[in-house]
Amino acid sequence: MTAAEIRSAFLKYFESKGHQIVASSPVVPGDDPTLLFTNAGMNQFKDVFLGFDKRPYSRATTAQKCIRAGGKHNDLDNVGYTARHHTFFEMLGNFSFGDYFKEDALKYAWELLTEVFKLPKDRLWVTVYADDDEAYDIWTKQIGVPAERCVRIGDNKGARYASDNFWMMGDTGPCGPCSEIFYDHGADVAGGPPGSPDQDGDRYIEIWNNVFMQFNRRVDESGEYVMDLLPRPSVDTGMGLERITAVLQHVHSNYEIDLFQNLLAAAKREVEAAGNVSGAVDAESPSLKVIADHIRACSFTVVDGVIPSNEGRGYVLRRIARRAIRHGYKLGARTPFFHKLVDALAAEMGSAYPEIKQHQARVTEVLKLEEERFFQTIANGMDILESALAALNGGTVLDGNIAFKLHDTYGFPLDLTADVLRERGLTVDEAGFNTAMNHQREQARAAGKFKIAQGLEYQGTPTSFQGYDKLLVEGAKVTGLYID
Ligand code: ATP
Ligand code: MG
Ligand code: MG
Ligand code: MG
């Protein structure tokens, strides 16, 4: 099955179980300045869970465009290093708004995986929240998952809210225990089973999270956090399309699935053309994966109205774009190549997300301008960095002042410099960088020309999204943070 077929098989399965198919909301949330980007399928339904918003359906299913490259959910540093993390990905989800609860949710998930997708049962592991006996019993007694593959996780020394298996919107909002499903990619991949110390490998990959929305966490009159029961117990699930596709296509990495092949080939072709190094780029280079990942995040962000800038969402976009450009530079590109990948992306994803075709020319232009700008300074910046590294003489930490100079004069975001260093087992003195940054701010302030600083974290700058109305569900509100 292709990724496109898997996406529609998921939606059709849940439609056959009485779910309304709802369109993805934009990656830029409509009316919540605290949420950087849409990072989960449930974002657009937050108010429905809380009982503030009513829909004509009590069951919904979506394929949601998600971005996890800043704020509470940030997988930017995982891209290129794990087989399973992207900055942009699609989350397949089914939702119950006070309709079915744990039993049906887990049975649907199991039926879809083992009967429709026909995954071998002995490759599947599940986890439940530590004291969730109900979910544990459903898995082991009703569904028949052997106890040795059903793992209780959470409540680590009373840190209930920090637990992996207790999902929360943020400090406040809908929350509840969750149950995750993992697929064992086999002994030739490194990593341990869920709950083990070496879980963080790519062997046992989390494919699907089922959240049992039961509580609303809020601050009471005395300033303490309290949890109220939600009006009605609900369900929120999320399965990464790229991860389940890898499983179904019998490959161990998301980057090996069909959806990425044309993008990776285009990345190789354009980088080679831009560097006059035809045939020289290794098709397996992690840098090509980073580029293929980042063109998706950058393009869908621009589609929804963000442009590269020095603050807020625009700065996240700039950081992702420049990281991709730097990876191209590393492979030999010396002239703009990145924006040329928009065509390959539109060809690959335009049927599922027509907005990328609709905005293709504008997205290309916006990225081209950013790329032309960065190509003016990247070569000199890289030369300075290389000289500084050569002068380290066995040291492992780059001087914060140099990182600041690269940032200030050459447009190297700190995380881009850190990305170069990490490839060589080095780090940067962040405290020194911050001191240099603050020093410069003080001077600018003293000179009466204080300009808005380039914050790494989102600072609430609104992004106006004029939107493709027809893709939005009427009345949908996109709010809240998704944190687990
Ligand atoms: P992980 O532990 O692997 O980082 P997560 O627990 O942070 O995943 P959830 O918040 O539970 O992920 O999101 C639901 C599903 O979305 C995950 O089970 C996974 O299939 C998918 N997913 C999450 N983050 C990413 C990502 N960065 N890239 C691709 N898929 C992802
Ligand atoms: Mg994660
Ligand atoms: Mg997880
Ligand atoms: Mg999870």
Question: Is the CB of residue 238 below 6 angstroms from any atom belonging to ligand 1?
Answer: yes
Question: Is the CB of residue 370 below 6 angstroms from any atom belonging to ligand 1?
Answer: no
Point out the ligand 1 atom lying closest to the alpha carbon of residue 91. 16
Question: Is the CB of residue 208 below 6 angstroms from any atom belonging to ligand 1?
Answer: yes
| CA atoms within 13 Å, Cβ hemisphere of 51 | 12
pLDDT at position 155 is 58
Cβ atoms of residues 406 and 412 within 8 Å:
yes
Whether the complex's predicted ipTM surpasses the cut of 0.95: yes
Q: pLDDT tens per residue, the chain (484 residues)?
A: 999 999 999 999 999 999 999 999 999 988 766 678 998 999 999 899 999 999 999 999 999 999 999 876 789 999 999 999 999 999 999 999 999 999 999 999 999 999 999 999 999 999 999 889 999 999 999 999 999 999 999 755 444 444 578 887 667 778 899 999 999 999 999 999 998 888 889 999 999 999 999 998 888 999 998 899 998 999 999 999 999 999 999 999 999 999 999 999 999 999 999 999 999 999 999 999 999 999 999 999 999 999 999 999 999 999 999 999 999 999 999 999 999 999 999 999 999 999 999 999 999 999 999 999 999 999 999 999 999 999 999 999 999 999 999 999 999 999 999 999 999 999 999 999 999 999 999 998 888 754 444 443 334 444 444 443 322 222 223 222 222 2
- DSSP per-residue letters across 412-433: --HHHHHHHHHHTT-EE-HHHH
Cβ atoms of residues 245 and 7 within 8 Å:
no
- Tokens (6 digits) for 189: 């991949």
Sign of CA dihedral 423, 429, 433, 436: negative
Question: Is the CB of residue 243 below 6 angstroms from any atom belonging to ligand 1?
Answer: yes
**Global pTM value:** 0.90
Cβ atoms of residues 229 and 258 within 8 Å:
no
Cα 216 from Cα 48, distance rounded (Å): 12
pLDDT at position 33 is 66
Point out the ligand 1 atom lying closest to the alpha carbon of residue 208. 18
Question: Is the CB of residue 348 below 6 angstroms from any atom belonging to ligand 1?
Answer: no
Cα 193 from Cα 199, distance rounded (Å): 5
CA-closest residue to ligand 1 atom 6: 484
Cα 455 from Cα 56, distance rounded (Å): 42
CB atoms within 10 A of CB 469: 7
Cα 218 from Cα 229, distance rounded (Å): 11
CA-closest residue to ligand 1 atom 2: 206
Cα 260 from Cα 242, distance rounded (Å): 9
Label residue 337 exposed, middle or buried (CB < 10 Å: 0-12, 13-18, 19+).
buried
Gyration radius (Cα) of the chain, Å: 23
CA-closest residue to ligand 1 atom 10: 484
Cα 237 from Cα 213, distance rounded (Å): 10
pLDDT at position 169 is 65
71: left (phi over 0), alpha (psi -120 to 50) or beta: left
